[in-house]
Amino acid sequence: MAEVTSELMYELLKKLDHRFDKVDIAISELRADNQTLRSHLHALQGDVNNLRVTIGHVENRLDRIENRLELRELQEAQARFDPHP
pLDDT of residue 10: 93
Residue stretches of the chain with pLDDT short of 70: 1-2, 71-73, 84-85
pLDDT of residue 38: 98
Distance separating alpha carbons of residues 22 and 29, to the nearest angstrom: 11
- pTM confidence score: 0.57
Please state, in angstroms and as integers, the Cα–Cα distance from residue 30 to each residue in 33, 34, 35, 83, following that order.
Answer: 5, 6, 9, 61
pLDDT tens figures, 54-71? 999 999 999 998 888 876
**Domain range list for the chain:** 43-79
